[in-house]
Structure 1
Amino acid sequence: MKSMINIELERAFRSTSFWIAILIGIIITALQFIQQVIPAAMNPIYWMKSNTLQVPANAFRDSIIMGDGWYYQLYIRLVPILVTIPYAITYYTDYKKGIVRNYYSRTNKKNYIVAKFLAVFVTGGTVAVLPLVINLLATSAVLPSFAIINGEMTCNGNGMWSYILYSHPYIYYVMYFILQFICAGLLASISLVISRYVNNVFIVLLFPSVLCEFINAIAQWFPTKILKDLAPWRLFRIDQLAVNYWQSYIIFILVILFLDITIYMWRGVKDDVL
């Protein structure tokens, strides 16, 4: 099992597609840093509105995660496709190219299935979170970290973990990065679930993105706030432009885990290699 996991992780992190996905994310966050953070760092007082309680430009408010502009919105919309680019299609291509026969002749099916899941999960989570971490660190290096004033951020007192955000902002960011890593990794694994049921690599690549946009479109008709919060554009927003609920994340995680275990893992172990 351990050797199979090492092989899959090495394949994943050495792949060109992984670094392309990382580069796309870094380009978006770098543009925000250049166009919004650097000007604010050059003259923090300029960004204050007169006769208000606003504080000068600071790392918490002006990073891409909490900053105004279309950069974060673009990033969130691209997350479902970015997480699948690195490695999510390889389960499909391994079967099509017959690579799985070589693996199955040397190791148990279960080892390959689990190793593939872990590689897809880790690369998907890394691609979704790493550019945001770099942006936050870079912003913190050039802007001060002031205490957050209520009304300065989109996350209000009803937001999930808001009491942590207003008392220990960096802990809030770390906790949300971990949560986003898990959700993004599981989102990438949806491609594994459908890989044996389709006959086109582009369907495998784009299915999570199409599914997310579909849920975004219909979530407004869901009967409760918790179900409405299942819309990916809300789940992946750390700034909580719309209030997030912890129950929504639990549902999201459990549903995808159920699909991964029952359809991808169980079916993958039971099926014969054609």
Structure 2
Amino acid sequence: MIAVELRRAFANKLFVAALAIGLALAIAQLVTVVVPYGLGGEWSFWRTGSKGFYPNSLFNSWMGATSYSLWSVLYFFVLPLTACLPYADSLYADVRGGYAANIVSRGGAGRYFRAKVIAVFLTAGTVGVVPQLVNL
């Protein structure tokens, strides 16, 4: 039952759309904040070969550490909506279409709801974490 729910969750068009929104914001933040930071004046001292100072790190400019970036703020503002988008309406659609009654009669309500909770948790986590990993 878990495999079926996971297949339904990750093959969902809304999952792809939510992941695309998150990835677009992560890449926009990468292009507008990280690349200029890496090519900016903070690195000129190290590019000339001089030593003695601790270098600035690009880790300081990733999406999770830059609260001043428009793209970071927008990503974390939209994150609850994109996390709910992929598979949140599945229970309503299953009950309305009769699929839930069919599955519950065959496998039990507990197994169905556990599988549903695991699928929703994994899709929401994937939509929230993958864009940040891509940005990092």
Total equivalences in the alignment: 128
1:126 Cα deviation after fit:
1.2
1:46 Cα deviation after fit:
5.9
1:8-23 equivalence runs, <5 A: 8-23=5-20
2:3 matches 1:6: yes
Equivalent residues of 1:44, 1:57 under 8 A apart: no
2:23 matches 1:26: yes
Equivalent residues of 1:12, 1:87 under 8 A apart: yes
Aligned equivalents of 2:55, 2:62: Cα separation in 1: 13
Equivalent residues of 2:5, 2:119 under 8 A apart: yes
The residue aligned with 1:62 is 61
The residue aligned with 2:125 is 125
Equivalent residues of 2:5, 2:116 under 8 A apart: yes
Bigger helix fraction: 2
Greater relative contact order (CA < 8 Å, ≥ 6 in sequence): 2
Aligned equivalents of 2:44, 2:8: Cα separation in 1: 46
1:13 Cα deviation after fit:
0.7
1:36-55 equivalence runs, <5 A: 36-43=33-40, 45=42
Q: Secondary structure at the match of 1:88?
A: coil
Aligned equivalents of 1:80, 1:45: Cα separation in 2: 35
Residue type matched to 2:32 in 1?
Answer: Q
1:211-230 equivalence runs, <5 A: none
Residue type matched to 1:24 in 2?
Answer: I
- Structure 1 residues 106 and 73: CA distance shift in structure 2, 3 A: same
The residue aligned with 2:50 is none
Equivalent residues of 1:47, 1:57 under 8 A apart: no
**TM-score, scaled to structure 2:** 0.85
**TM-score, scaled to structure 1:** 0.44
Aligned CA RMSD, in angstroms, stands at 2.0
Q: Secondary structure at the match of 1:37?
A: helix
Equivalent residues of 2:38, 2:58 under 8 A apart: no
1:163-242 equivalence runs, <5 A: none
Aligned equivalents of 1:8, 1:119: Cα separation in 2: 6
Equivalent residues of 2:87, 2:123 under 8 A apart: yes
State the percentage of identical aligned residues.
33
The residue aligned with 1:83 is 83
Structure 2: stretches of 5+ with no match in the other structure: 46-52
Q: Secondary structure at the match of 2:69?
A: coil
Question: CA-to-partner distance for each residue in 1:67-108, whole Å, 9 max, x for gaps?
Answer: 231221111111111111110110111111111122123211
Aligned equivalents of 1:31, 1:83: Cα separation in 2: 19
Question: CA-to-partner distance for each residue in 1:25-77, whole Å, 9 max, x for gaps?
Answer: 011110010111112223452699xxxxx965422211111123122111111
Aligned equivalents of 1:82, 1:122: Cα separation in 2: 13
